[in-house]
Every structure is written in C-alpha cells, then in structure tokens.
Amino acid sequence: MTEISARDRKSTKGVSAKGTASKGATSKSPAPKGATLATRVLELVASGQASSRAELAQLLGAAASTISLTVAELVERGLLAEEGTQSSTGGRPRRVLRAGSTDEYAVAADVGGRHARIGVVLPGGGVGDVATVPFEIADGPEAALPRLAEHLETLAQQRGRDRLRGVGLSLPGPVDVTAGAVVLPSRMPGWNRFPVAAWLEERFGVPAVVDNDANCMAVGEQSVRPAEHRQSITVKIGSAIGAGVIADGHLYRGATGAAGDITHIRIDGGGADVPCSCGNTGCLETVASGAALVRILRERGLDVTSPEDVVRLAGDADPEATRAVRRAGDHLGQVLAANVNFFNPDAVYLGGILSTLEPFVAAVRSQLYESCHPLVTEHLTIERAVLGADAGLVGAGLFALQRALARALGEAGGSAARAGGPDRFPAVTPLPRS
C-alpha cells in the first residue's frame, strides 16, 4: 500500500482550529502549565491535531511566546523536529512540526479472530506498508503472538529497526490499559490477563501499548477529522460490536475503562431468548453483530459461515440477507439513539465490515433521525469512518508513539513521570487523544 501522510489527508482533517466550534464545545483546551504544557504539545503534534506553533497556541489557549519556548526546548531535546514550511493566511510561512525525528515510526496491528491488519504508523497518523496476515486468536497468546511478532519484526527491519519507537496492538476485547492485558474476553481462549504489552516490550525492546479495538478505531478516526469535531462516537460493527467515545477531544474510558460497551445493552423484541456471551439474553450483540447475522441467515437456510459471507450476499442484493442487514441496522440505531440523545456528539462514525453495506448504514441513520431530538441531529454527522479498515491500525500506532514520547520526555528531564508516568498518554483521559 502506498504510504499516506497525514498532510495528504488535509481535505478531511481540519488541523487548524480556525473553524467555528460546534455548539456546546470549544476548540481550545485549558491552558496547561510547566511540564504539562510540554506533554500536551507533544501529544497534539504526534496525533496530527497541530503542525505549527500557531495551531498549538490556538488549541491550547497559550501565549505564542510560551508555545515557542516550549517547542524550542522539545526540539533541542530531539522530541520534536521542524521541517519545511506551510502557507499561512498572513505573515511568514509556518515551520511544520512533527514528533521525534522525521523517520521515526511505530509498528502496529489491528487483530481480529482470523486475521490481523499490520502496518507502519508515523507521527501525525501517516500509515504505510499495510498488509493483512493470518492470525488465529483462538490459538491463545503463547502461540499467536510470536507469529504476529515475526510479521511486525519484518516491517521494522524493512523500515529501519533503529528508528522503531513503539509497538501498538488493537485487540477485540475489554482491555486493562494499565496492565496491558485483556480482561474477561469472549471468544479469546487463553488471553484473560495475559501480559500482552509486557510481552511485546520484552520482544521488541521499545514501549508497547495494548487497547480495545473500538478505542483504537475512535482515536485513529479522530486524528483525521476536523479539529472542531471534539465529541464523537465511533462504532465498530464486525463479528461483535463496540464503541469508542471521544469527549472534548479526549478518548473517554469511564471509571473502569468500559465506556462504549454498547454491545450488552438489551434490545426489546427480536432476540429476547438468544443467549449472549455475557450470560444475559437479548443483548445488541445477539441481533445486530456479524456473528448474529450469520446465525440468523443460517437459520433461514442460507449458506453462510462468516460476516464476509453476509456482506457478499447483501452486496448481491439477496433479499433475505438485505432484510436481515437492515434489521440489524435498526437495532443498532435504537441503541445509539439513546446514547446520542444523552451525549449530543458532533458525529457518529461507523466502522467494521458491516459498515461497508449501504442498507445497514442507511438503517442506522434513519433510526437516529427518527428517535433523536431535532436539536441533537441538526448538525450531526453520521457516516462511515474515512480511514476504513486502517482506523484501528492508526489508533494503535498513535497510542504507541504517544507512550514512547511520554517516556522520552521523562528520561530527558521532564516531569512526565511525576505527572502520571509514561503510561499517562494512553491510560488517562485528560489528554486529547489518548
């Protein structure tokens, strides 16, 4: 795959905060102080939200002189680099900022049940060398991780092993980010509390981050969206269903890291007697996920064994498949409507294999417009994730780069450790992307 830089995606990514902020939100963050300012500057540049001193000053609400001093210190430490110029609306052209040196990167993988999407992620969200490789999650971490690590090692050797700064992994289950482990997952035998992040750090010798696939997708998608869209819900609809929540530009995890777990919300009718992996019956997952559609269509006599088969049939306008897909979209829309009314986001982004089906997306959109208050939907964006299958991969890579930057800042004499340690970027909500 041809490498795509974040700069090339300017048409979809409002890096500058010049646009008008959405109702109820602001494009500025509270002005941070001291080392907190340095960490915020690093994170904004690494995530691609800002690429110049002027954009940093506007997003952070800090004086231009303060931003310039902080940037100069970070450049001197080697944590930021300046390259080229970009045009401005007036005055001198702006120097372009990027995290680390111009050739540093992370390797990342977005893992599914049977395959993993791997690639190289650059500071700011550029992605390249993307490939899909076999990955049997049912084999357990002891067998599956070494095989995945070989593929990631090949990417690192091709790109330059000495410039590798982090490893990111997106997993389809609940993740304890601090421990770097999956907790009580379904359909992931042997993975419960296995120290995945620690295993990866020992294997590669660089910081590693593990997170839930929906969270990774939300962070990846946010990195290419307009800066004024600071409230969003990103839903991944594959074999299972999950959501990542961006609140005021931050990934919101909730009190125990389970925010966005909409898959176990119960649906009235349609699946009341169908058991769910959580032990209850009638959950959203039992009527609207890819696995549910496979079950439903098999019960109706169709030859399907995977969500890919469902997509193929619906793409060929099979009436049973199309009807089932629309019904699944209705169910998801019902659940999202309650969340959208409560949260009032700028956008709802749909990702995962079922989001490729127009009848599914149309059903979700229709249900949201029908069930939500007009004030909530007046300016609501409802569309597919523009990064598509790469959203989770980009998010996992950005998490890894942010972790590496936080550690580097602490080692270089900053007080990131005192402000929450090198885990602060991926584990705590007060930062814009993490």
Q: What is the pLDDT along the chain (434 residues), one digit of tens a residue?
A: 434 444 344 333 333 333 333 333 334 444 444 457 888 888 788 777 788 898 888 888 899 999 999 998 888 877 788 876 654 455 556 678 877 666 789 999 999 988 999 999 998 788 999 999 999 999 999 999 999 999 999 999 999 999 999 999 999 999 999 999 999 888 899 999 999 999 999 999 999 999 999 999 999 999 888 878 889 999 999 999 999 999 988 899 999 889 999 999 998 776 678 888 888 898 999 999 999 999 999 999 999 999 999 999 999 999 999 999 999 999 999 999 999 999 999 999 999 999 999 999 999 999 999 999 999 999 999 999 999 999 999 999 999 998 988 887 776 554 433 333 333 333 322 233 33
Strand order, beta sheet including 208-212: 127-134, 115-121, 105-111, 164-171, 208-212
Quote the pLDDT of residue 151: 98
- Cβ-proximal residues to 312 (8 Å cutoff; 6+ apart), any chain: none
Is there a contact between 378 and 22 (Cβ–Cβ < 8 Å)? no
Report the candidate in 220, 211, 200 with the shortest Cα–Cα distance to residue 391.
220
Residue tagged 């506007």 (tokens): 58
Q: Which two tokens stand for residue 390?
A: 């790469």
Quote the pLDDT of residue 395: 96
Q: How far is it, in rounded angstroms, from Cα 68 to Cα 101?
A: 18
Quote the pLDDT of residue 5: 41
Distances (CA, A) of 290 to 199, 213, 284, 304, 351: 31, 15, 11, 11, 12
Is there a contact between 217 and 211 (Cβ–Cβ < 8 Å)? no
Is there a contact between 94 and 54 (Cβ–Cβ < 8 Å)? yes
Residue type, 192: N
Quote the pLDDT of residue 388: 95
Q: How far is it, in rounded angstroms, from Cα 325 to Cα 339?
A: 21
Is there a contact between 220 and 402 (Cβ–Cβ < 8 Å)? no
Is the pTM higher than 0.85?
A: no
Quote the pLDDT of residue 413: 53
